[in-house]
């Protein structure tokens, strides 16, 4: 079992436990919220049909994920792909070519 700390906007929102590392597919995980400001803001954004980005940090590594849905004891996440990061840079530098 892998335990990830869920960090949203520099605040700890809770932790989640998964059997396998988070990959590019959607994954529903057991979630234990901390009931902090970070958790409340994260839950508010998810209820507003937003897909906020959080960082999951374990002892081995960290990964950036989109939060798809939340309930009091579970969370569904999807690993952010490189395409979304590239599109961010394309917005910053629309005229640059490879």
Q: What is the pTM of this model?
A: 0.75
Rounded to an integer, what distance in angstroms lies between the CA atom of residue 76 and that of residue 12?
Answer: 17
The continuous run of DSSP H or E covering 86 comes out as: helix 82-92
Alpha carbon distance 81, 87 (integer Å) = 10
Q: How far apart are CA 44 and CA 89, in angstroms?
A: 28
Instruction: Write the class of the CATH domain 2-92.
Output: mainly beta
42, 52 contact by CB (below 8 A): yes
Question: CA 81 from chain center: how many Å?
Answer: 12
- In this prediction, residue 98 carries a pLDDT of 45
E runs forming strands in the chain:
2-8, 11-18, 27-33, 53-57, 62-71, 74-79
The per-residue pLDDT string of the chain (98 residues; one tens digit each, 9 = 90 and over) reads 889 999 998 899 999 988 888 877 889 999 999 989 999 999 999 999 999 999 999 988 889 999 999 988 899 999 987 544 455 555 555 555 44
């Amino acid at each position: 079992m892998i335990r990830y700390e869920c960090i949203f906007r520099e605040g700890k929102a809770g932790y989640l436990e998964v059997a396998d590392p988070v990959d590019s597919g959607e994954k529903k995980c057991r979630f234990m919220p901390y009931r902090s400001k970070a958790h409340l803001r994260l839950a508010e954004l998810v209820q507003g049909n937003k897909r906020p980005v959080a960082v999951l940090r374990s002892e081995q590594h960290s990964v950036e994920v989109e939060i798809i849905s939340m309930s009091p004891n579970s969370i569904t996440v999807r690993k952010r792909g490189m395409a979304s990061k590239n599109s961010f840079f394309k917005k910053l530098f629309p005229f640059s070519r490879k």
